[in-house]
């Protein structure tokens, strides 16, 4: 049986892709620092053992493809994977950041069959990581209030899982967005309405944003990198819709309000 290494297998998309492949009867191996098998992007000696016996891999780089050096690491991983017998790589990528584009190209050059899943801002950032605590506290702060075609990770995972199971996705770049643009103001109003509890949005300067991250425990350099990344992401260049979900799956992506209603019923946000 073929086995797929899912890097970031405990993360937001990795977990969902693994669930889908397992449900189809395919063998998966969750690779991360705390996964089934130890896999650490910062320790290349962990890559070979994690890849042993795998014929495909889902590549989600941490902390972020846009960070300095990410493309070199992704290229080295792809080379190790191909040498280990991997013939298919599916990359989770961002939309247009220079580092993400460099990583895409290096992975495409690896010699493996590839699919790139480029993603807009994840809806689940509000419920599974970054801003869940801010929403509980009643105010979300970001260095920009551009309109974003926020994408539901249930759609992204469907696209990524399909890329492992259907050869027609080889060599495709799927740019995945939600079906409409949503400002962060609107997003917080939707969450407020669904939970019956006011969550405000506040646009802050990049310096205030970085200071908030440092106050939350992030080291200075990572806070600065993350602030730079968000200034880049939220400069308006992503305020367009794309049709990756439709092209890959032949159906429309879910609306942000579907995600909000589904998530509100889980109790992750206080009502």
Ligand X SMILES: NC(=O)c1ccc[n+]([C@@H]2O[C@H](COP(=O)([O-])OP(=O)(O)OC[C@H]3O[C@@H](n4cnc5c(N)ncnc54)[C@H](OP(=O)(O)O)[C@@H]3O)[C@@H](O)[C@H]2O)c1
Give residues in contact with ligand X (CB under 6 A): 8-14, 32-35, 39-42, 60-62, 64-65, 92, 94, 119, 121-122, 125, 129
Give me the least distance between CB of 264 and ligand X, in Å please: 20
| Beta carbon nearer to ligand X, 64 or 208 | 64
Give me the least distance between CB of 256 and ligand X, in Å please: 13
Contacts of 208 (CB under 8 A, 6+ apart): 141, 143
How far is Cα 259 from Cα 266, in angstroms, rounded to an integer? 11
What are the residue ranges of helices labelled H in the chain? 12-23, 47-51, 70-83, 98-108, 132-137, 153-165, 184-195, 206-215, 220-233, 244-249, 256-264
| Beta carbon nearer to ligand X, 129 or 240 | 129
| Beta carbon nearer to ligand X, 41 or 174 | 41
Which residue of the chain is nearest ligand X when measured via CB?
11
| Beta carbon nearer to ligand X, 197 or 228 | 228
Give me the least distance between CB of 196 and ligand X, in Å please: 26
Give me the least distance between CB of 60 and ligand X, in Å please: 5
| Beta carbon nearer to ligand X, 60 or 115 | 60
CA distances from 203 to 53, 118, 197, 208, 209 (A): 48, 26, 20, 10, 9
Give me the least distance between CB of 179 and ligand X, in Å please: 17
Count Cβ atoms within 10 A of the Cβ of residue 172 and give its class: 0-12 exposed, 13-18 middle, 19 or more buried: middle
């Amino acid at each position: 049986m073929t086995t797929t290494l899912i890097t970031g297998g405990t993360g937001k998309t990795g977990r969902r892709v693994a669930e889908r492949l397992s449900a189809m009867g395919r063998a998966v191996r969750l690779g991360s620092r705390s996964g089934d098998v130890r896999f650490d992007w910062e320790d290349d000696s962990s890559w070979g053992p994690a890849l042993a016996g795998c014929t495909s891999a889902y590549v989600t780089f941490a902390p972020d493809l846009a960070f300095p050096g990410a493309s070199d690491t992704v290229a080295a991983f792809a080379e190790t994977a191909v040498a280990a017998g991997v013939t298919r790589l599916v990359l989770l990528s961002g939309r247009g950041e220079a580092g993400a584009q460099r990583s895409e190209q290096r992975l495409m050059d690896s010699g493996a069959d590839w699919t790139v899943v480029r993603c807009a801002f994840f809806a689940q950032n509000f419920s599974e990581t970054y801003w869940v605590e801010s929403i509980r506290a009643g105010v979300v702060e970001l260095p920009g209030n551009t309109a974003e075609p926020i994408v539901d990770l249930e759609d992204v995972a469907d696209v990524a899982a399909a890329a492992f199971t259907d050869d027609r996705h080889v060599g495709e770049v799927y740019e995945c967005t939600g079906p409409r643009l949503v400002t962060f103001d609107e997003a917080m109003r939707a969450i407020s309405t669904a939970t019956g509890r006011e969550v405000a949005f506040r646009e802050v300067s990049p310096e205030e944003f970085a200071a908030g991250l440092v106050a939350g425990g992030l080291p200075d350099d990572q806070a600065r990198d993350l602030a730079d990344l968000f200034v880049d992401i939220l400069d308006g260049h992503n305020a367009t819709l794309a049709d990756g979900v439709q092209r890959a799956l032949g159906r429309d992506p879910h609306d942000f309000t579907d995600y909000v209603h589904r998530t509100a019923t889980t109790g992750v946000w206080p009502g």
